[in-house]
Amino acid sequence: MNTVTAGSALRIMREKLGLTMRDVETASERIARKRGNEEYFVPISRLSDVETKGVTPSIYRLYSLAVIYRTTFQDMLQLYGVEFNFGVSDLETSTPPKSHLSKALGSAPAAQIPVRMDPSFDPRRTMNFGRMVEEWGTVPLAYLEQLAKTGFTYGYIGSQDLTMYPILPPGSFIQVDESRSRVIEGGWRSEYERPIYFVETREDHVCCWCTLAREVIILQPHPLSPVAPRVLAYPQDAEVIGQVVGVAMKLGEWRAVSDSVPAPKERTALN
């Protein structure tokens, strides 16, 4: 809501309570005197500007108006388009260089997460998680607001899928950027910088490193994984859905869904 509309809304609130501008000025003077701060005082001339000229009141005067109009400070902020609860997407605009304890989302009440899955959902297999959700519901898990972003899909690493172990342990949830579906060759300094792709084959889904060679794609597992590389016709037998850009996992608990890790197989390195 813009400030002009907000001013009109404030005028309507005042008139519904039968208050004149003089009443508001007098009440705000009492609040200012009680708090020992003249910033809480709302003179008639300033209230008129707020209601008719789109002038935005200070936080102190907005507080006084909230008290006088018997509403909450949160409702007053919302009149001016300020949401009381922080959004995850807003937090992304600032990236502090130091790790810290964040209280920004402590008051966020809810987020949309899956509440009913497709009956065919099998936690042992890696799959496109977004296609398995039949119904979303509201629960108090604010950080999952990220799932509402467009341009991303979400995958689940099956409990029996060790392709990218130990980087992506079984039971992990991944965020996939569908705009990054082109396989990049080289340019990384370590295995942690090498792009991981979410690939759909004719039989299953898989998270892996990828290498393109002529008309085939090589699905490469992590060197510590017991899974062997796969060579498939490209793009006939494999579609790169996108690049993995986020992951959520439980540390130290994934073995609950995979009792043991087979020893890595010996194999020659791929060029």
Q: What is the pLDDT of residues 36-65, one digit of tens each?
A: 999 999 999 999 999 999 899 999 999 999
Q: Which residue has the tokens 């009492």?
A: 30
Domains of the chain: total:
2
pLDDT single digits (tens) 114-123: 656 667 767 6
State how far Cα 171 lies from the chain centre: 20
Per-residue confidence band for 269, with pLDDT thresholds at 50, 70 and 90: very low
Q: What is the CATH number of the domain that holds 190?
A: 2.10.109.10
What percent of the chain shows pLDDT beyond 90? 45
Distance CA 41, CA 20 (A): 15
Domain limits at 217? Answer: 111-256
Q: What number is the average pLDDT over the span 2-28?
A: 88
The verdict on residue 162 lying in a domain is yes
Q: What is the DSSP letter of 219?
A: E
The verdict on residue 7 lying in a domain is yes
Instruction: Count other C-beta atoms under 10 Å from residue 79's C-beta.
Output: 21
Q: How far is CA 61 from CA 49, 57, 125, in A?
A: 13, 6, 58
The verdict on residue 97 lying in a domain is no
Per-residue confidence band for 258, with pLDDT thresholds at 50, 70 and 90: very low
Q: Specify the amino acid at residue 85.
A: N
3 by DSSP, 3-state: which?
A: helix
pTM above 0.85, yes or no: no
